[in-house]
Structure 1
């Protein structure tokens, strides 16, 4: 978003999640990178328009902070990032990394692509089954 622009900008929330096969820096880096690539490829979003990003991980993941991975992406070093542990619920999906992003966007909430990848695709089948080709900028 350019400074001084007003137009149709709205604050939007984007959710996403993925899973990893193991609790390792390499596995988590691969999964977070894939998740954020899907986010940026399929939404008209830039780090400059992001208000904040919260990552949550299940209690079985502690090899690296997802925010540390995101911070290495171009222009993500100025985005406020936070890592938290996801609430433990019996029977919930293990080895899972989630995010919640608040950002300014001009598109309607219904047109936002929420990436749910790998084993997390079952968490929100209504969002993970979206044809991503329709969401490319």
Structure 2
């Protein structure tokens, strides 16, 4: 079997709408993603960040480009559709990557208050992270 495109989802929240708070949240999310997924930045097809309408101090893609080996990855920022009562100050991430391993284990990091978005994955991820 040849190369296959897979995806990783994740989300976190920023403590406030400031460059520093958003930068801290994005780095924490990407640190977690890289720590628990065998992913080579050269194999990333693209990454899309979405933010809720209350976060506009800095683009998450700008922060990601500061990371080693992320400068040439196609990155895109969008505003998440607003739904009344939804999680505030939320940053979501979707990464598509190529892999030769059809059974690659994928860890979808949901951090901080964003854990409530996917409680099913949060429990499964906790078990996976304890194994590593």
TM-score, normalising length from structure 2? 0.92
1:10, CA displacement in angstroms? Answer: 1.5
> Are the counterparts in 2 of residues 42 and 133 from structure 1 also a CA contact under 8 Å?
no
Q: What is the number of residues matched between the two proteins?
A: 128
Deviations, residues 2-38 of structure 1 (Å, cap 9, x unaligned) = xxxxx55321011000001100011001000000000
TM-score, normalising length from structure 1? 0.88
Equivalent residue for 1:41, pick from 35, 39, 43: 35
Distance 1:59 1:51, change over 3 A: same
Q: 1:32 aligns to what? A: 26
Q: Give distance in 2, aligned partners of 1:92 and 1:13.
A: 24
Equivalent residue for 1:74, pick from 50, 68, 78: 68
Q: Give distance in 2, aligned partners of 1:55 and 1:48.
A: 18
The runs of at least 4 consecutive aligned structure 1 residues that moved more than 6 Å come to none
1:63, CA displacement in angstroms? Answer: 0.5
- Show structure 1 runs of 5+ residues with no match: 1-6
